[in-house]
Amino acid sequence: MKNKIKAFLDIVKQRNGEEPEFLQAVEEVAETVIPYIVEHDIYYGKNILLRMVEPERAIMFRVCWVDDDGEIQVNRGYRIQMNSAIGPYKGGLRFHPTVNMSILKFLAFEQVFKNSLTTLPMGGGKGGSDFDPKGKSDNEIMRFCHAFMSELFRHIGSNTDIPAGDIGVGSREIGFLFGMYKKLRNEFTGVLTGKGISWGGSLIRPEATGYGNVYFAQKMLETKNESFKGKTVLVSGSGNVAQYAAEKVLQLGGKVLTLSDSSGYIYDEDGIDAEKLAFIMTLKNVKRGRISEYLERYPEAIFEKGKTPWGVKCDIALPCATQNELNEADAKLLISNGCICVSEGANMPSTKEAIAIFHKAKILFAPGKASNAGGVATSGLEMTQNSLRFNWTREEVDNKLKEIMSDIHKSCLKYGTDKDGYVDYVRGANIAGFVKVADAMLAQGIV
Ligand code: GLU
């Protein structure tokens, strides 16, 4: 088996040698899915995984815009249309200086499996730009978004490819992107998700990734007769995912000790309660400030510059910042401090070595493609509401989200339960995600 996996990865490395994050994402899938393919005749010998690692289409384009000083700026825009076997391409846009082909291909590849797990008919895609929104004025953000959409519009559509937000792309950016798409096409459709409530958005979409992650962790904890009540929780990040993960943890009786951004983390021993969280939401979403400013209001907290929070003693960890933010040494610290559950809110926040440590210690560990699927699932629900030209209530959407997270958990148990009863959620998520897409690809022939 090892040879088969190596032979496959050698081909992928040869073609994508310069793309470390993409290779990391493919390796994790190959190690769990190839043994399954070998055991199942319908998939064996059909190069099905080799077809899945090749984007159906990868678009790269120039984005020119004028900044507030009148200078002409040039950025690079991308859209990776990875797989459309089970539905139109679906996945977010990321605006961050680290964005390149490797990052977007890893995200698009993960998205294919994630979207398949949601039970909804969505293929996988991802896009974005190396544009850095940090420190830009609202007008600069608008001009950039308009310039970006003036090319992207010809590649997307409500039945073709439906982008949404990711790091650096929130409701403000979706608004500007939607405005330009509507102007160029002269049609009002659900071509983007994460829209505002008054113009086609869904209730609960802003909360969905964070809430969904906590619902998933809750399902994992239930298998051990545990819950969030009275548990100490580390959350990393302070964007949309982290904020709503923290909110749901508080609602379920847990104590949130940390939040972070790229400058470092804050540790509040007394817990970040609802009032403190509201302060952070205003700080991050309205003032667009730094997490260290928390101390100006709550001086008893600690700010650790340039560090991640994983050394703080906790029961549960929710990495909600970005890829590879939790390494082997961090994983060892979490285990030695008694952490029983890690549920990823970000995409691929744990390195391969960190995951191996969690599995060895046999703690509950959920990969993002399962535990953060609530965001895109609720995007799927937004698409449904747009097609119906109808809006569901908050409660209706939240109940559907809970049901979807519970179904994803069941799929992970189905394919990930070891002989000794331990659940390998990585294997479970990868195989469950794979089967649905592979079956559709086989049915549609070699295209
Ligand atoms: N960017 C989010 C993700 O990683 C959401 C994508 C979407 O809603 O389409 O799943």
Kindly state if the Cβ of 213 falls inside 6 Å of ligand 1: no
Kindly state if the Cβ of 376 falls inside 6 Å of ligand 1: yes
Kindly state if the Cβ of 117 falls inside 6 Å of ligand 1: no
Burial environment of residue 25 by CB neighbours within 10 A (0 to 12, 13 to 18, 19 or more): buried
Q: Is the pLDDT of residue 307 over 90?
A: yes
Average pLDDT, stretch 338-353? Answer: 98
CA–centroid distance, 29 to ligand 1, in Å, is 19
Q: Which residues are catalytic?
A: 126
Average pLDDT, stretch 235-256? Answer: 98
User: Which atom belonging to ligand 1 lies closest to the Cα atom of 372?
Assistant: 10
Q: What does CATH list as the number for 208-371?
A: 3.40.50.720
Ligand 1 atom 9 nearest Cα: 91
Say what percent of the chain tops pLDDT 70. 100
pLDDT, residue 178, reads 98
CA–centroid distance, 90 to ligand 1, in Å, is 8
pLDDT, residue 115, reads 98
pLDDT, residue 1, reads 86
Q: Where are the domains of the chain?
A: 2-52, 57-187, 208-371
The answer to whether 108 and 82 are in contact (CB under 8 A) is yes
CA–centroid distance, 47 to ligand 1, in Å, is 28
Is 3.30.70.100 the CATH classification of the domain at 57-187?
no
d(CA 335, CA 262): 24
3-state secondary structure the chain: CHHHHHHHHHHHHHHHCCCHHHHHHHHHHHHHHHHHHHHCCCCCCCCHHHHHCCCCEEEEEEEEEECCCCCEEEEEEEEEEEECCCCCEEEEEEECCCCCHHHHHHHHHHHHHHHHHCCCCCCEEEEEECCCCCCCCHHHHHHHHHHHHHHHHHHCECCCEEEECECCECHHHHHHHHHHHHHHHCCCCCCCCCCCHHHCCCCCHHHHHHHHHHHHHHHHHHCCCCCCCCCEEEEECCCHHHHHHHHHHHHCCCEEEEEEECCEEEECCCCCCHHHHHHHHHHHHHCCCCHHHHHHHCCCCEEEECCCHHHCCCCEEEECCCCCCECHHHHHHHHHCCCCEEECCCCCCECHHHHHHHHHCCCEEECHHHHCCHHHHHHHHHHHHHHHCCCCCHHHHHHHHHHHHHHHHHHHHHHHECCCCCECHHHHHHHHHHHHHHHHHHHHCCC
Mutate to test the pocket of ligand 1, among 94, 178, 379, 408 (most ligand atoms within 8 A of CB): 379
Kindly state if the Cβ of 128 falls inside 6 Å of ligand 1: no
Average pLDDT, stretch 153-164? Answer: 98
Kindly state if the Cβ of 260 falls inside 6 Å of ligand 1: no
pLDDT, residue 43, reads 98
Render pLDDT for 368-398 as a digit per residue (tens, 0 to 9).
Answer: 999 999 999 999 999 999 999 999 999 999 9
CA–centroid distance, 94 to ligand 1, in Å, is 10
Kindly state if the Cβ of 193 falls inside 6 Å of ligand 1: yes
Kindly state if the Cβ of 166 falls inside 6 Å of ligand 1: yes
pLDDT, residue 361, reads 98
Q: Is the pLDDT of residue 408 over 90?
A: yes
Average pLDDT, stretch 162-187? Answer: 98
User: Which atom belonging to ligand 1 lies closest to the Cα atom of 205?
Assistant: 8
Confidence category of residue 298, pLDDT binned at 50, 70, 90: very high
Would 57-187 and 208-371 be classified into the same CATH topology?
Answer: yes
Residue with tokens 């994460």: 194
CA–centroid distance, 107 to ligand 1, in Å, is 9
What's at 83, amino acid-wise? N
CA–centroid distance, 165 to ligand 1, in Å, is 6
Average pLDDT taken over every residue of the chain: 98
Average pLDDT, stretch 276-288? Answer: 96
pLDDT, residue 203, reads 98
- Whether the pTM exceeds 0.95: the reply is yes
Average pLDDT, stretch 161-171? Answer: 97
Average pLDDT, stretch 339-343? Answer: 98
Average pLDDT, stretch 131-143? Answer: 97
Mutate to test the pocket of ligand 1, among 21, 107, 114, 166 (most ligand atoms within 8 A of CB): 166
CA–centroid distance, 115 to ligand 1, in Å, is 9
In sequence order, the β-bridge partners of residue 326 are 350
pLDDT, residue 426, reads 98
Q: Which of 78, 109, 92 is nearest to 12 (CA)?
A: 109
Average pLDDT, stretch 81-108? Answer: 98
Kindly state if the Cβ of 379 falls inside 6 Å of ligand 1: yes
302-305: strand order across its sheet: 302-305, 264-267, 255-261, 232-236, 316-319, 341-343, 364-366
Kindly state if the Cβ of 375 falls inside 6 Å of ligand 1: yes
Ligand 1 atom 8 nearest Cα: 376
pLDDT, residue 269, reads 97
pLDDT, residue 380, reads 98
Kindly state if the Cβ of 92 falls inside 6 Å of ligand 1: yes
d(CA 415, CA 430): 9
Mutate to test the pocket of ligand 1, among 191, 376, 381 (most ligand atoms within 8 A of CB): 376
CA–centroid distance, 97 to ligand 1, in Å, is 19
Kindly state if the Cβ of 120 falls inside 6 Å of ligand 1: no
